[in-house]
Amino acid sequence: MLIIQISDLHIRAERALLNRRYDSAGNLDRCVAAINQLPRQADLVIATGDLVQFGARAEYACLREILDKLHAPLLLLPGNHDNRQKLRDSFPEHDYLTLYPDSCRFVCDDYPLRIIALDTVIDGEVEGAIGTEQLEWLEDQLAARPEKPTLIAMHHPPFSGMIDFGNKPSCADGPALAALLQDHPQVRKVISGHLHRAIATGFAQTQGTVAPSTAVSFGIPFFPDTPFYRTDEPVGFQIHVWADSTDDSAVITHTVSLACDTQAAKIFAITDETA
């Protein structure tokens, strides 16, 4: 099974530049073109939040125009820049977003790898949280299908990626999630976004990853007091591969980078077959 993760798309209305500098719409165009040209068709694309910059209807309309070109099925998840209701209104066919009034969490049981998406958005806040009620819901979902390999997707990483905003953890109750996952070994990976660069770490008894942004990259904090900064590093997306041949197979993650001058059509072209 091939799952593509795109994250932190930060689309602006009428394709306006993000922060007057970053072509988030043009970069997403190139990501979509590259995903469509994968040598093996993706089973699923999941977008892990910050779909638009200001949660505005006109931004979601622009986002739709770009994402409608994707060939693979798409799942959406909000981030701290999103507005749940406007997201739902703009993608009415994504009815899984409306199952809970104050949360866009969902379970996808359509594939051999089960996907559970958590909504970590706290309205008006940069940081996120899972919340007691959603943690209890998650525990119920995991307890209901202990035999089924599962991937958890969320916008705010529940672990430290070293990049923080104001010395606060991205997700306030990440440790509570880690404690819960100790009892649910079917969770093969926790994927997230928010930190705008590819990051991998251990988390509970599983693995945690952060996908790069399709819009703009954040810099590595090389020292504890390094302030937050953006860079001109390539943007990109991740490919999560699950072999589904053995019960204990891991989800393997590859990061695809798209430099500004890279033509999407050439990303997966063979240039040399010499070992």
Q: Which stretch binds Fe ion (CB under 5 A): 2-10, 105-113, 180-188, 200-208?
A: 2-10
Specify the residue, 228 or 268, whose C-beta has the smaller distance to Fe ion: 228
Specify the residue, 8 or 59, whose C-beta has the smaller distance to Fe ion: 8
Specify the residue, 141 or 217, whose C-beta has the smaller distance to Fe ion: 217
Count the site residues for Fe ion by CB under 5 A: 2
H-only helix segments in 91-156: 132-144
Specify the residue, 118 or 142, whose C-beta has the smaller distance to Fe ion: 118
Displacement of CA 25 from its chain's centroid (Å): 17
Specify the residue, 87 or 187, whose C-beta has the smaller distance to Fe ion: 87
CA separation for the pair 251, 240 (Å, rounded): 6
CA atoms within 13 A on the CB side of 113: 26
Does residue 50 interact with Fe ion by CB under 5 A?
A: yes
Does residue 127 interact with Fe ion by CB under 5 A?
A: no
Q: Which stretch binds Fe ion (CB under 5 A): 1-9, 40-48, 115-123, 221-229?
A: 1-9
Q: Which stretch binds Fe ion (CB under 5 A): 44-52, 128-136, 144-152, 175-183?
A: 44-52
Q: Which stretch binds Fe ion (CB under 5 A): 5-13, 94-102, 183-191, 236-244?
A: 5-13
Amino acid at 235: V
Question: 16: closest CA among 69, 81, 62?
Answer: 62
* DSSP-assigned beta bridge partners for residue 44: 3
Question: 209: closest CA among 238, 182, 186, 229?
Answer: 238
Specify the residue, 103 or 170, whose C-beta has the smaller distance to Fe ion: 170
Nearest distance in Å: CB 53, Fe ion: 9
CA separation for the pair 174, 202 (Å, rounded): 13
CA separation for the pair 17, 11 (Å, rounded): 8
Nearest distance in Å: CB 196, Fe ion: 6
Specify the residue, 75 or 142, whose C-beta has the smaller distance to Fe ion: 75
H-only helix segments in 166-270: 174-181
* DSSP-assigned beta bridge partners for residue 253: 240
Does residue 59 interact with Fe ion by CB under 5 A?
A: no
CA separation for the pair 124, 249 (Å, rounded): 39
Nearest distance in Å: CB 245, Fe ion: 35
Does residue 119 interact with Fe ion by CB under 5 A?
A: no
Does residue 8 interact with Fe ion by CB under 5 A?
A: yes
Q: Which of residues 232-251 bind Fe ion (CB under 5 A)?
A: none
Q: Which stretch binds Fe ion (CB under 5 A): 48-56, 70-78, 94-102, 123-131?
A: 48-56
User: Quick one: CA dihedral 194, 177, 172, 124, positive or negative?
Assistant: positive
* DSSP-assigned beta bridge partners for residue 220: none
Question: 116: closest CA among 215, 51, 235, 206?
Answer: 206
Nearest distance in Å: CB 8, Fe ion: 4
Residues that bind Fe ion (CB under 5 A): 8, 50
